């Protein structure tokens, strides 16, 4: 069997990590053209042949991209390695599997976040030997963790520990926090590894030169990411809340003892996500309540009690009313029902041409944070929510709010809720609850307590 496989030094570095006894998760990537998908496909084919009756997974967010790009690369790699379709392996398109002559199998899996399957139950029955996630920036951290938990089949026979390979271009999301940033700081745990692969690491000179010329024609953001492999640039380019903005949330007690009281509430469905209720003193967050599995009636009662305890005017309560939150506003007369897709308010905001009210409020939040006008009490900031402090969780959620690139008629917009959930692995409940308060920053109020 003849093979025509040439491995670049950076790919060799990655392969050494894939065969050691301590690296369980490897992120390989950086700029475009680093032969990331080639590496993953080469490794998967090698392992299936090396370990008879073993099971691998090649996964990507969307099946369409998996089949039209990643799978085609796998066929090309197999051909270069001397393997013939129909003789050494068989692709069963209807089942989404590739079977090898020694009984090994590669499963092709779509692992996009789905509202109908937020916990990735569809991966629950898998028992696999290893896995490769291509373009991992497109999937959630939760998807990678659940897929990694399925790696337990024929591990002893593999002669190594369980392995998950991820490939990606720079993106300011969970990959940045889990791999790149700790790697840059020199604190990456031994069970994780990162190999930065740039276009210059591709030793096929003609390809690299031609591809570099193509990438140089891209917009500034894409060029920094894909040509130069800069992970930090992505955050500061499209994110409404890059680190320099998030750092301006002041953690301190309110400067004044008195001030107008407000309540903003993001209401979750019973048993789904989390209802978040925030009590404000002007633009200072006094307290945050994260209510798990609260019914409409329970949420309304909690807000009503909070309002009366702190003498907050009825029309200083804003509630997300696009879902079941409308039921809470019905129970609380005078409260404001917030509808995300409503036309933006007329105001003196520096960006007036918004696609809808929610986008306008998020940009208003950015404006006030940049001006150091948003603060939070130390107790509220330090409270623990799902294993993280409130301030850390809030910052993480705000980081996923980006300026949308797919604008309509030149209007200003933010990325979709589905994309935010895909980045986070959950709904940005805290961020949305903070955003709701901006409704009152856009519109003057006549206050009444009754």
The verdict on residue 447 lying in a domain is: no
Structure tokens at 350: 């520096």
The answer on 400 and 272 residing in a single domain is yes
How crowded is the C-beta side of 36, counted as CA atoms within 13 Å?
A: 30
The answer on 185 and 44 residing in a single domain is yes
The answer on 280 and 380 residing in a single domain is yes
pTM across the whole model: 0.59
Distance CA 65, CA 388 (A): 34
pLDDT for residue 349: 45
The answer on 224 and 273 residing in a single domain is no
Question: Which of 203, 231, 259 delimits the end of a domain?
Answer: 231
Distance CA 249, CA 368 (A): 10
Q: Which of 256, 243, 69, 59 is nearest to 167 (CA)?
A: 59
Buried b vs exposed e over 388-408: b needs ≥16 C-beta within 10 Å? eebbebbbbbbbbbbbbeeee
Q: Could you please report the per-residue DSSP string of 147-210?
A: HHHTB-SSHHHHTS--EEEEEE---SSHHIIIIIHHHHHT---TTEEEEEE-GGG---HHHHHH
The answer on 337 and 208 residing in a single domain is no
- How far apart, in Å, are the Cα atoms of 16 and each of 23, 26, 191, 390? 10, 11, 14, 40
297 neighbors 331 (Cβ within 8 angstroms): yes
Say which DSSP state 346 is in.
P
Question: Which of 231, 266, 281 delimits the end of a domain?
Answer: 231
pLDDT for residue 84: 93
- How far apart, in Å, are the Cα atoms of 201 and each of 34, 153, 170, 212, 335? 6, 34, 16, 12, 59
Q: Which of 347, 251, 346, 263 is nearest to 299 (CA)?
A: 263
The answer on 287 and 354 residing in a single domain is yes
Structure tokens at 49: 């042949």
pLDDT for residue 426: 83
The verdict on residue 429 lying in a domain is: yes
Distance CA 325, CA 210 (A): 54
The answer on 320 and 267 residing in a single domain is yes
Rounded average pLDDT per 10-residue block, the chain, 450 residues: 67 93 93 78 96 97 92 95 94 96 97 82 92 92 94 95 93 86 94 85 59 62 63 66 88 79 88 85 95 91 96 95 89 94 72 80 94 94 89 92 67 83 84 96 60
Distance CA 348, CA 109 (A): 49
SS3 328: helix
The answer on 265 and 219 residing in a single domain is no
Number of domains in the chain: 2
The verdict on residue 449 lying in a domain is: no
């Amino acid at each position: 069997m003849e093979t025509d496989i040439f491995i670049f030094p950076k790919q060799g570095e990655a392969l050494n990590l894939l065969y050691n006894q301590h690296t369980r998760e490897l992120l390989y990537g950086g700029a475009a053209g680093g032969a990331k998908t080639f590496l993953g496909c080469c490794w998967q084919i090698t392992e299936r042949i090396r370990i008879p009756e073993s099971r691998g997974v090649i996964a990507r967010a969307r099946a369409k991209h998996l089949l039209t790009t990643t799978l085609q690369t796998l066929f090309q790699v197999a051909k270069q390695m001397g393997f013939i379709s129909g003789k050494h392996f068989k692709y069963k398109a209807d089942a989404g599997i590739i079977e090898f002559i020694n009984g090994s199998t590669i499963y092709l899996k779509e692992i996009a976040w789905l509202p109908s399957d937020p916990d990735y139950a569809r991966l629950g029955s898998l028992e696999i030997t290893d896995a490769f996630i291509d373009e991992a920036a497109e999937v959630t951290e939760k998807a990678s963790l659940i897929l990694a938990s399925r790696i337990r089949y024929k591990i002893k026979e593999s002669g190594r520990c369980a392995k998950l390979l991820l490939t990606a271009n720079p993106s300011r999301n969970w990959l940045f926090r889990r791999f790149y940033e700790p790697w840059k700081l020199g604190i990456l745990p031994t069970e994780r590894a990162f190999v930065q692969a740039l276009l210059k690491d591709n030793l096929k000179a003609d390809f690299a030169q031609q591809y570099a010329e193509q990438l140089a024609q891209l917009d500034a953001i894409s060029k920094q990411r894909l040509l130069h492999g800069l992970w930090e640039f992505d955050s500061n380019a499209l994110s409404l809340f890059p680190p320099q903005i998030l750092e301006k949330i002041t953690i301190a007690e309110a400067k004044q003892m008195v001030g107008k009281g407000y309540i903003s509430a993001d209401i979750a469905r019973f048993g789904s996500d989390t209802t978040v209720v925030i009590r404000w003193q002007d633009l200072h967050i006094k307290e945050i309540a994260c209510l798990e599995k609260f019914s409409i009636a329970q949420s309304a009662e909690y807000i009503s009690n909070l309002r009366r305890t702190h003498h907050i005017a009825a029309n200083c309560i804003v509630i997300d009313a696009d879902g079941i939150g409308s039921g809470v506003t019905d129970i609380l007369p005078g409260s404001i029902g917030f509808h995300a897709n409503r036309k933006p308010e007329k105001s003196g905001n520096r960006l007036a041409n918004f696609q809808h009210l929610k986008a306008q409020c998020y940009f208003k939040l950015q404006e006030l944070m940049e001006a150091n006008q948003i603060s939070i009490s130390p107790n509220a900031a330090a409270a623990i929510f799902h294993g993280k402090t409130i301030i850390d969780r809030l910052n993480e959620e705000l980081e996923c709010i980006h300026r949308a690139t797919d604008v309509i008629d030149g209007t200003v917009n933010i990325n979709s809720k589905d994309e935010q959930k895909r980045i986070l692995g959950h709904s940005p409940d805290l961020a949305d609850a903070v955003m709701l308060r901006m409704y009152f920053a856009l519109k003057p109020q006549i206050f009444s307590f009754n």
